[in-house]
Copies of this chain bind each other. A is one copy, B any other.
């Protein structure tokens, strides 16, 4: 009982195999068989853990954002940095992860957002909850940056946080399309300009 039960292991094995493969090939383009084979789990087990592919997708997105937001919180909790530095660290991580694998990054919001939002209501809501969490954390960092004087900007904090996220989301799509990291560099320059930051 000390560690996770085998049932949980199987379940999360399916989940993480799904994240890896669907992050690469999308949702509709991937069959359960491929995920289950990769996870080393027999096909019949699937419907013991998930009611349908759709329900699986929902759980996968939720699990993805749980980890993702925990990572953000870790950056936010880091001591000895200004808010501006933490924000730059976050975007540097974003760029790093998304440029990996030959510019075919694995962020599920980027990869699945447009595809799945019109397809499945549960997945859409999971995506909405997750991205909402990201934006509200960005907003908190912006507020902290005003408080500690490390950055400044015009307009509502909520607008700026959302726009920053949208900018990086769009840049991530363009990185895939152009297969070049240049969109991220431009996004970085724009981010700095929007936040009146000196070259951090």
A43 interfacial contact with B, CB 8 Å = no
One of A64-72, A144-152, A177-185 at the interface? A177-185
A49 interfacial contact with B, CB 8 Å = no
C-alpha gap A102/B166 in the complex (Å): 20
Please, which residues of chain B bring their CB within 8 A of the CB of A160? Answer: 190
| Contact yes or no, A162 B179, CB < 8 A | no
Number of interface residues of A (CB under 8 A): 49
| 15 intermolecular pairs with C-beta atoms under 8 Å apart | A26-B114, A104-B117, A104-B118, A111-B115, A113-B176, A117-B173, A117-B176, A124-B176, A160-B190, A166-B166, A166-B169, A166-B170, A166-B174, A170-B170, A190-B194
Please, which residues of chain B bring their CB within 8 A of the CB of A183? Answer: 162, 166
